[in-house]
Homo-oligomer: A and B are copies of this chain.
């Protein structure tokens, strides 16, 4: 298969987990030593493993699900008086990608490029690139115009 790099990228967290596991070996070995030296420290050892790996599992799960939660946000919000209906036709017509829409939403929320970058776990330059594409597609020159236009076209609430 030629998709080995793909696999690597997709399982970044899993690989990190592996590395962390390796790092844990020392701790475990040390605990094993204690087990030999101190009698009946067996429970301590088992308990340690349980606690450590439970925490590890929680951490892993959080890492894996965090990106997914961001995607959920934009689907599930409804205004009380008038429900916002995303104009998907316009979105398709303007060829605006999911990521670009995400940036647009944060932009309209008043966030700076730097803040958006931090929130989306990408670099400032990446946000600037998204902005440039966005402005091009919306045929505007500034973020304030982009917000105005996007709201008018019901691309954002």
Contacts and interface: CB of A to CB of B under 8 A. Distances in A.
Contacts of A56: 54, 57
A107 B60 contact: no
Contact of A73 (B61, B73, B144): B73
A142 B41 CA distance: 60
Interface string A49-64: 1110111111111100
Nearest to A69: B69
Contact of A54 (B60, B79, B80, B149): B60
Contacts of A51: 53
Interface residues of A, number: 44
A157 B151 CA distance: 12
Nearest to A77: B73
A5 interface: no
Interface stretch (A88-96, A108-116, A121-129): A108-116
Secondary structure class of chain A's binding surface, majority of residues? helix
A70 interface: yes
Nearest to A55: B57
Contact of A107 (B49, B59, B107, B144): B144
Interface of A: 28, 45-46, 49-51, 53-62, 65, 69-70, 72-74, 76-77, 79-82, 107-112, 140, 142-149, 157
Given A74-B77, A111-B144, 17 more contacts: A46-B46, A49-B50, A53-B53, A53-B57, A57-B58, A60-B61, A61-B61, A62-B65, A65-B69, A70-B73, A70-B76, A80-B82, A110-B142, A110-B145, A143-B144, A144-B144, A144-B147
